Amino acid sequence: MQRPRQRLVVVGNGMAGMRTVEELLKLDSALYDITVFGAEPHGNYNRILLSPVLAGEKTVDDIMLHTREWYAAHNICLYAGDPVVAIDRRRCVVKAQSGLEVGYDRLLLATGSRPFVIPVPGADLPGVIAFRDIQDVETMLAAARKHRKAVVIGGGLLGLEAANGLMRQGMDVTVVHVMDSLMERQLDRPAAALLRRELEKRGIRVLLNANTAEIVASAEAGEKRVRGLRLKDGTELETDLVVMAVGVRPNIELAKSAGLHCERAIVVDDTLQTLSDPRVYAVGECVQHRKSTFGLVAPIWEQARVAATHLAGHGHRRYVQAATSTKLKVTGIDLFSAGDFVGGDGTEDLIYRDPRRGAYKRLVLKDNRIVGVVLYGDVADGAWYFELMQNRTDVSAFRGRLVFGRAFCRAAS
Amino acid sequence: MSAAPAAGASMTRLVKTTCPYCGTGCGVDVRLQGGAVEVAGDAEHPTNYGRLCVKGAALAETLVPDGRLLYPQLRETGEGRRETKRVSWDTALDVVSREFQRIIQEHGPDAVAWYVSGQLLTEDYYVANKLVKGFVGTANIDTNSRLCMSSAVAGHKRAFGEDIVPVSYDDLEIADLIVLVGSNTAWCHPILYQRIVKAKERRPQMKIVVIDPRRTATTDAADLHLPLRAGTDVWLFNGLLSFLYQHGVVDTAFVEQHTRGLPRALAIADNTAGSLRAVARQCGIDEAPLAEFYRLFARTEKVVTAFSMGVNQSSAGTDKVNSIINCHLLTGRIGKPGMGPFSITGQPNAMGGREVGGLANMLAAHLDLENSRHRELVQRFWNSPTIAAQPGLKAVELFDAIDQGKVKAVWIMATNPVVSLPDADKVKRALAKCELVVVSDVVQDTDTTAFAHVLLPALAWGEKDGTVTNSERCISRQRPFLPPPGEAKADWWMLAEVGKRWGYAEQFRYSGAHEIFDEHARLTAAGNRESGIVATGIGNRESGIVEEQDAAPSVLRYLNLGGLAGMTRDEYDALSPVRWPVVTPHASRLTPHVFSDGQFYTPDRRARFVPTEPRLPVHARDEDYPLVLNTGRVRDHWHTMTRTGISPRLAAHIDEPYVDMHPQDALLSGVREGALARVTTRWGSLVARVRTSGEMPRRNVFVPIHWNEQYASDARVGSLVNPVVDPVSGEPEFKHTPARVEAFAVLWQGFVLSRAPVPMQGIAWWTRVTGQRFLRYELAGRETVTDWPQLARRMLGVKDAEADWIEYEDRSAGQYRAAWIVDERIQACLFVSPRADLPSRAWLSALFAKQRLEDLDRIGLLVGEPLDREADAGPTVCSCFGVGRNTILDAVRKHGCHSAEALGRKLQCGTNCGSCIPELKNLIATALEPA
């Protein structure tokens, strides 16, 4: 006599949610009947690879992780394009936009995040978009075919990838960044300067300390569309497309309305269980764990692994935050950044500069252990440094050669 | 022969000449093809039979225009170091003759002086000596040979009545025992050493005893090494004399018929060194090896006792020489093949200088100042207005006299006293206040030319034309094969021009070196009983041999070149090496062994035993200066490096000034191998890198003589040496100055490799090394540098902000490295660190040969090594073939080369000059040591 399967409902057909499902299936494929709701009308794709798609280096098919066939093959019921709008925790039921209701024994929230839209006049104009999903990419590609000029607001990772993509699509692109240095969260000034020089060499215009005051619409009658952008210092930029890449906000409205405890995001414990409801788990960009929220993929993979073990009933794993590293997915620009590259009291710098070859390396040490890495131009040893950093390896034995890479340190030992 | 027709660029032209370095006097074949100069040993030369040492083999590398003194220059007198301005020869010579004349008129002839050199050719030397002693009328002409072998000269004169070296190189090869006293022959006379080693290989029964406080490359070949306490040689040889006598090893007939003075000499020997125990205690050696040496000497008939600076450069130098000669007289082991006391001189023409009398206590042609008949003979021969009547000032006295203002004008020729004299800082002070300093040299910037008021450009080796005499009395030609650079002229020409300006056109009219040599040859024969040449004036040079006139004084001496008189220019040019005396024309090297007839050159024709009362060096060690400073040469450098310093090959062997000491003394002095140390004496101090080679005995340190202000910030050992001299010879005590060694604390050290010279102002310590297409500077600093990136760019002269500049900085660890690339080639690089953990210079140096840096090079650049570690050959050991330490160690470990020969077969190292063979053997030992 076989016991009835439990029901798992996953809200969010994105990378975090589906990775958790994958992990779960690996552990126990027979434990749950799984239902997945997604806002986008696709299977699950690799959001990280949207930049290459925009740059024309990959196609949408290339970046698909799970096709509809895959869901069918694993008896997963997928409702793509039909987002969940309400959770009734008393009845353990979720309600979708279409009115469909599905009950659950376990609920996994993976609602992700949404781009932040800076509240300036004209932010809602046609031709003002974010860079988040396939839809955005298609909008940009379309714009690139029709128009010439684009402005990207935000000189961070995503903004620069967008800028590069649009440039590759033949647009003349200006990056408007509010800070005085690009990617200031990942790069120190020397590296940022090299990056800027490289981007400008490729024809991307970069404006720093540039604060957007207003997005201006075209005056002529008929379809109303963005025409320009005015900065606080009065500078006017003519443009046919504005891409905002100024960060994201976790999607927590649903969780809130369901009465789950949220701060900046849905608060979870070391098992990725929500504080308010043991039946409800959350993973990904919508999660807040010990005061942190998450945007990079590595910690989210780890969350998925942890959540899956608990859903599978072997609750031995704990989620522990680890250092993260960043790479910019812009072909021809190699940069690597990890840990605390700013440094401070008690930290020491190892710096290598070869401007002619566009190479720059900075290792930040504390107590002879790597705590931060910035590599520009030559990132071959990034992974190794990252490993040394995570293992807290004492580097004093080969400190003098560290910057020159693993090969030389091996030669020394 | 040089008689070879001057050929077109296509054809090679061969010129036979003589090496300008040590007193061995090797023959050199120079091949010229187009602009290229090739140097090889002269297979026909009786000295080296085709072999050359590293220095000789690298001669071609030193024939570069860099740094040459090209034009006469004047510098106004006055405070501070002024720039010089170029003038014509006429102007310069007018100033010299006028100023010398003025000072002579105002203060007398003894107010002027000449300080000349064993680097001069015999002809230059002759004219200098003639001008000074016959036409100025002072004997204030001394030479750097004073620092080298004047004790041997004095010893010879005391024992033989004349300065005669009674041994030839061939004797070394047939001797059954060779005693090397105070001589690192392997490094300082490599070709002689090679001949000795070869002879020993042919006749293993031949024994070699080395007597030297240091264990040197020479002791490597020794059957017995006596590391006697510095300065105790006289005890050792007094002891030997006494031992020989006690054991009846006496040639009674010889002693009775041909010598005088044995009883006193013997009495003193017995009293001071009568027992093995006494000698052993005094010399700080064990009785057993001492007895072994004495017995060996006693039972071996064919003994050559060869000695060099370890004997001569001492406050008891002359007595040391005589204590050695005494032993040979007692046993009659002199004047016969394969035996005798043998002074090996340091300089290429020390002997030539002695022959023409170019020392303050000689007259000319082995004639004596104090002897009125001799003076008369010379004055008549020279037809000179005057003749110096009493000895002049010897080197050290001479510069004291300048310091005291007694000597107001000095003409320094071809030497660098600011570096080479003892208490050299005093020499600096003296020259700084001297009224007139004339320097004729081939180099523009030396520590000495810095003080010159008049600079006269002289001819260098390859340009000058004349003769030199080597340690075995063999006269060889130095022949020109290069055109004079700029307005350089022969030294004899400058002197003759001054003579003419003083109104002695007749006496100084020479159309070429051959006429000077002829005059010199005739003077050696003048009044010399064997020959018929009479001391007539030089006017009838052509008349050749004439009948003796009763009026002419006649004096016998062994030095006689009568047979070489009257040569035409062509005969002179074709002159092949010949040992004097040459009494009759066409005499060959077959002249019978000197003294073979038991006839000496004292009035009674008997040799003299000289009583030698032993005495310790004048300045003893004490609490403040607990060590003894010894000085000397290194293998691949010569004197003050003006020539060898510009050869990359020669710079490779020992690249830095160093102080070698016993590990225990290093410990007690608080210094470490490889660290910098300050060596201080009561006279001065320097800074050098510490070595604990294992060659030094306790309480002895060694510092090489070569480095100076052109090559290092602070390494002139001359400034440390006590100005004590031997009372008879006036030779300074270079081998024994009480000293102290302390750590020289630095906050950082580093090095620069650069294609262009780098200014070293403000660097606490530095030394410069010539490399292949670059210069290397080793640096150390005593202040922390806050902004290396900025300082480095300034030092290396990088102005362009966009320059291709790679750098690595670990600020908190004090590490900084940078490289400057120009047109894909390395232009310069700089490495600094607070610790002695700097990378090997070898691989970085090799990059300067590359026309284009590969990416791999560029990656490894600031690590200082290629990814493939095999590529690093390490420091050069064999300079001839540029074989590095690592390469050799690999060959020993991996390819089973366990002998120097095996290494030679595999890597060629040691197969040319062989001077690195001792080091190869050590490396083999090191490599095979169980780690």
pLDDT in tens, B821-841: 999 999 999 999 998 889 989
Interface test with B, best of A356, A360, A366, A395 (most B CBs within 10 A): A356
B528-542: average pLDDT: 53
Chain B nearest C-alpha distance from A353 (Å): 5
> Closest Cα to residue B860, out of B874, B847, B849, B877?
B847
B471-488: average pLDDT: 96
CB contact under 8 A, A349 and B813: no
Six token digits for residue B476: 């060889």
| Residue-level pLDDT at B529 | 72
CA pair distance B25, B470, nearest whole angstrom: 5
Tens of pLDDT, residue by residue over A89-109, are 999 999 999 999 999 999 999
Cβ burial B542-580 (10 Å sphere, 16+ → b, else e): eeeeeeeeeebbebebbbbbbbbbbbeeeebbebebbbb
Q: How many CB atoms lie within 10 A of CB A349?
A: 17
| Residue-level pLDDT at B3 | 42
A218-233: average pLDDT: 84
β-bridge partners, A244: A130, A153
Model confidence band, residue B549 (pLDDT cutoffs 50, 70, 90): very low
Whether A404 contacts chain B with CB within 8 A: yes
| Residue-level pLDDT at B18 | 97
Lowest mean pLDDT among A344-353, A376-385, B44-53: A376-385
- Classify residue B729 as left (phi > 0), alpha (psi -120 to 50) or beta: alpha
| Residue-level pLDDT at A42 | 86
| Residue-level pLDDT at A378 | 84
Q: Supply the pTM of this predicted model.
A: 0.83
CB contact under 8 A, B811 and A349: yes
Question: Which ipTM value was assigned to this complex?
Answer: 0.80
Q: Measuring CA to CA, how many Å separate B306 from each of B87, B164, B352, B509?
A: 48, 14, 20, 41
Residues in chain B: 931
B903-917: average pLDDT: 80
* Sign of the torsion formed by the C-alpha atoms of B769, B21, B159 and B223: positive
- Nearest chain A alpha carbon to B822: A356
Whether A355 contacts chain B with CB within 8 A: yes
CB contact under 8 A, B810 and A356: no
Whether A316 contacts chain B with CB within 8 A: no
CA pair distance B907, B900, nearest whole angstrom: 10
The pLDDT of residue B870 is above 60: no
CB contact under 8 A, A408 and B815: no
Whether A193 contacts chain B with CB within 8 A: no
A226-252: average pLDDT: 94
Model confidence band, residue B921 (pLDDT cutoffs 50, 70, 90): confident
| Residue-level pLDDT at B542 | 46
Tens of pLDDT, residue by residue over A27-82, are 999 999 999 999 999 889 988 889 989 999 888 888 888 999 999 999 999 999 99
The pLDDT of residue A410 is above 90: no
Interface test with B, best of A364, A370, A396, A408 (most B CBs within 10 A): A408
Helix (H, G, I), strand (E, B) or coil at B786: coil
The pLDDT of residue B776 is above 50: yes
The pLDDT of residue A209 is above 50: yes
Whether A352 contacts chain B with CB within 8 A: yes
The pLDDT of residue B634 is above 80: yes
Interface test with B, best of A403, A404, A409, A410 (most B CBs within 10 A): A404
Between A355, A357, A404, which is nearest B863 by CB? A404
Tens of pLDDT, residue by residue over B794-828, are 999 999 888 999 999 999 999 999 999 999 999 99
Task: Decide if B832 contacts B815 (C-beta within 8 A).
Answer: yes
CA pair distance A376, A361, nearest whole angstrom: 6
Q: Measuring CA to CA, how many Å separate B868 from each of A411, B632, B698?
A: 8, 39, 42
CA pair distance B931, B927, nearest whole angstrom: 9
Tens of pLDDT, residue by residue over B25-39, are 999 999 999 889 999
Q: How high is the mean pLDDT of chain A?
A: 91
Model confidence band, residue B66 (pLDDT cutoffs 50, 70, 90): confident
Task: Decide if B705 contacts B187 (C-beta within 8 A).
Answer: no
- Nearest chain B alpha carbon to A412: B869
CB contact under 8 A, B806 and A356: yes
- Nearest chain A alpha carbon to B865: A408
Tens of pLDDT, residue by residue over A105-152, are 999 999 999 999 999 999 999 999 999 999 999 999 999 999 999 999
Between chain A and chain B, the number of residue pairs with CB atoms below 8 A apart is 55
Between A353, A400, A407, which is nearest B837 by CB? A400
Six token digits for residue B574: 């074709």
Whether A349 contacts chain B with CB within 8 A: yes
| Residue-level pLDDT at B7 | 44
Interface test with A, best of B798, B800, B810, B829 (most A CBs within 10 A): B810
Model confidence band, residue B915 (pLDDT cutoffs 50, 70, 90): low
| Residue-level pLDDT at A3 | 62
CB contact under 8 A, A352 and B807: yes
What are the residues of chain B with a beta carbon less than 8 Å away from any beta carbon of chain A?
A: 804-813, 815, 821, 833, 837, 858-860, 862-863, 865, 867, 869
| Residue-level pLDDT at A382 | 84
Q: How high is the mean pLDDT of chain B?
A: 92
Model confidence band, residue B497 (pLDDT cutoffs 50, 70, 90): very high
| Residue-level pLDDT at B553 | 60
- Classify residue A105 as left (phi > 0), alpha (psi -120 to 50) or beta: alpha
- In a 13 Å sphere around the CA of B310, the CA atoms on its Cβ side amount to 24
* Residue linked to tokens 């290629």: B866
CB contact under 8 A, B862 and A352: yes
Model confidence band, residue A413 (pLDDT cutoffs 50, 70, 90): low
DSSP state, residue B93: H
| Residue-level pLDDT at A57 | 86
Model confidence band, residue B266 (pLDDT cutoffs 50, 70, 90): very high
| Residue-level pLDDT at B586 | 64
- Nearest chain B alpha carbon to A347: B812
Q: How many CB atoms lie within 10 A of CB B875?
A: 14
Helix (H, G, I), strand (E, B) or coil at A363: strand
| Residue-level pLDDT at B901 | 86
Between A352, A399, A407, which is nearest B867 by CB? A407
CA pair distance B365, B354, nearest whole angstrom: 8
The pLDDT of residue B539 is above 50: no
- Nearest chain B alpha carbon to A351: B809
Whether A413 contacts chain B with CB within 8 A: no
| Residue-level pLDDT at B551 | 47
Chain A nearest C-alpha distance from B794 (Å): 18
Strands A248-250 and A44-45: unpaired
Share of chain A above pLDDT 70, in %: 97
The pLDDT of residue B1 is above 60: no
Q: Which residues, other chains included, contact A182 with Cβ-Cβ below 8 Å and sequence gap of 6+? A: A155, A156, A160, A175, A192, A195, A196, A199, A206, A208
Model confidence band, residue B717 (pLDDT cutoffs 50, 70, 90): very high
β-bridge partners, A338: A325, A373
Chain A nearest C-alpha distance from B495 (Å): 60
Helix (H, G, I), strand (E, B) or coil at B522: helix
The pLDDT of residue A1 is above 80: no
Got the DSSP string for B525-548? HTT-TTS------GGGGGG-S---
Task: Decide if B471 contacts B148 (C-beta within 8 A).
Answer: no
| Residue-level pLDDT at B77 | 64
CB contact under 8 A, B806 and A354: yes
CA pair distance B449, B472, nearest whole angstrom: 33
Chain B nearest C-alpha distance from A354 (Å): 5
CA pair distance B11, B481, nearest whole angstrom: 15
CB contact under 8 A, B812 and A356: no
Between B812, B833, B863, which is nearest A401 by CB? B863
The pLDDT of residue B455 is above 70: yes
| Residue-level pLDDT at B490 | 98
Interface test with A, best of B863, B865, B869, B870 (most A CBs within 10 A): B863
| Residue-level pLDDT at B81 | 58
Between A348, A356, A403, which is nearest B808 by CB? A403
Residues on chain B touching A349 (C-beta within 8 angstroms): 809-812
Task: Decide if B336 contacts B212 (C-beta within 8 A).
Answer: no
Q: How many CB atoms lie within 10 A of CB B605?
A: 13
Whether A357 contacts chain B with CB within 8 A: yes
CB contact under 8 A, B813 and A348: yes
| Residue-level pLDDT at B4 | 43
Residues in chain A: 413
β-bridge partners, B691: B660
Got the DSSP string for B405-434? TS--EEEEES--HHHHSTTHHHHHHHHHH-
Share of chain B above pLDDT 90, in %: 82
The pLDDT of residue B224 is above 50: yes
Tens of pLDDT, residue by residue over A299-327, are 898 999 999 999 998 877 899 988 888 77
Interface test with B, best of A194, A347, A348, A350 (most B CBs within 10 A): A350
CA pair distance B132, A411, nearest whole angstrom: 67
What strand order describes the sheet that includes A172-176? A128-130, A241-244, A149-153, A172-176, A205-207
The pLDDT of residue A242 is above 60: yes
Share of chain B above pLDDT 70, in %: 93
Residues on chain B touching A355 (C-beta within 8 angstroms): 805
